[in-house]
Homo-oligomer: A and B are copies of this chain.
Amino acid sequence: VMKIYQQAIDLKVKNVIIINKKKNLKYKHKFIKKKIKVFHDHSKIKKIIKKKIDYTMCSISGLSGLKPTLGAINYSKTVGIANKESIICGWNILKKKLKKNKTNFIPIDSEHFSIWSLINNVNKASIEEIILTASGGPFLNKATKSLRNIKPKDAIKHPNWSMGKKISIDSTNLMNKVLEVIEAQRIFNIDKKKFKILIHPKSYIHAIIKFNNGLVKFLAHDTHMKIPIFNSIYFKKNKKIQSKQLNLKVFN
């Protein structure tokens, strides 16, 4: 909560929702002192937002992200969804609601954002293969023997991305990549047989698309979530973001 508190002050936020009752009661007064309103559930958003806002980012983790996301579609011109579970479990409902409200949707999960960047405005029938890349996690190529004494803290040490604990564990045991294939299959409505997974420890390439016409397109960006987030906000504008120099030696 103190992290949200600091962010709310830094970004001059006017309204905050804290679902957890105990924490809501405990910290409410701190926010109120700074003239920040505190709510305890999403239903109050309707009262705060009077007309469609430009952008909402849905990044609540787990399936509890679904309901607020469905709400966000009503009052947003564009929603960025970082929450895998709501896409995997609730895509059909999300899709209907997006269509009904003419709301733009941009996936924030870096692999899906990368695929989207390559095939947005492309005829889906022209796609032969979609390859998602996986780093292989911290235990790739380790001898089975050496895994006997691993601790949870070793399992959450992702080699390339700094992420939450749950997704880090899912990456380590590769389940995350399976979830990502399901997620991609839903978002892009492409036959699951067209998806492949490539173990790519450098995590340099995030998506590879092979087209029927013989062309193969690859997408790379810094392994930092600021890139998909920045692009989901400014996707129609030509805005510049500072990023690392190209590491072109990777191909040689």
User: Is B202 in contact with A214, judged by CB distance below 8 angstroms?
Assistant: no
Given A213-B234, A230-B214, A243-B214, A252:B202 Cβ within 8 A: yes
B251–A204 CB distance below 8 A: yes
The reply to whether the CB of A219 lies closer than 8 angstroms to some CB of chain B is: yes
The DSSP consensus for interface residues of chain A is: mixed
A side interface size, CB within 8 A: 42
Give residues 205-227 of A contacting B (CB, 8 Å): 205, 208, 210, 212-222, 227
Q: How far is the CB of A5 from chain B (nearest CB, A)?
A: 30
> Counting CB contacts under 8 A, is A43 at the interface?
no
Cα separation A55 to B202 with both chains bound (whole Å) = 43
How many copies of this chain? Answer: 2
Considering the chains assembled together, what is the distance between the CA atoms of A171 and B125 in angstroms? 37
- Nearest CB on B from A137, distance (A): 15
CB atoms of A216 and B212 under 8 A apart:
no
Q: Is A52 an interface residue (CB 8 A)?
A: no
Interface residues of A (CB under 8 A from B): 117-118, 123, 125-126, 128-129, 131, 198-202, 204-205, 208, 210, 212-222, 227, 230-231, 234, 238-241, 243, 246, 248, 250-252
